Amino acid sequence: MVILHERSGDACLAKPYRSVDLVRGLEIVSEIIATGTALPPFPRGFQVLQPARPSGDPTTAQQESSHG
């Protein structure tokens, strides 16, 4: 069983999606905000994104230098 845990950050639902998937995605976000977790079912193409790191974060600088 997959349980989503994320108190901050954004979620994404890949296109194409059905209306029912959008509604379920919003329910998942609401569950995460209320409890810090969400239980399946998860729509196809739904993912919780990690919060962006501050620009001064050394990990971010290392990642940016390795890509360019």
Please report the beta strands in 1-68, taking only residues with DSSP state E, as ranges in sequence order: 4-5, 11-13, 37-38, 46-48
45 phi, psi to nearest 5 deg: 85, 5
What mean pLDDT is reported for the chain?
A: 76
Q: Which residues pair with 7 in a beta bridge?
A: none
pLDDT at 5: 59
pLDDT at 38: 86
Band (3; pLDDT cuts 50, 70, 90)? low
pLDDT greater at residue 10 or residue 46: 46
Q: How many CA atoms lie within 13 A of 34 on its CB side?
A: 8
How many Å from the N-terminal Cα to the C-terminal Cα in the chain? 38
- Evaluate if pTM is beyond 0.75: no
49 phi, psi to nearest 5 deg: -90, 145
pLDDT greater at residue 38 or residue 56: 38
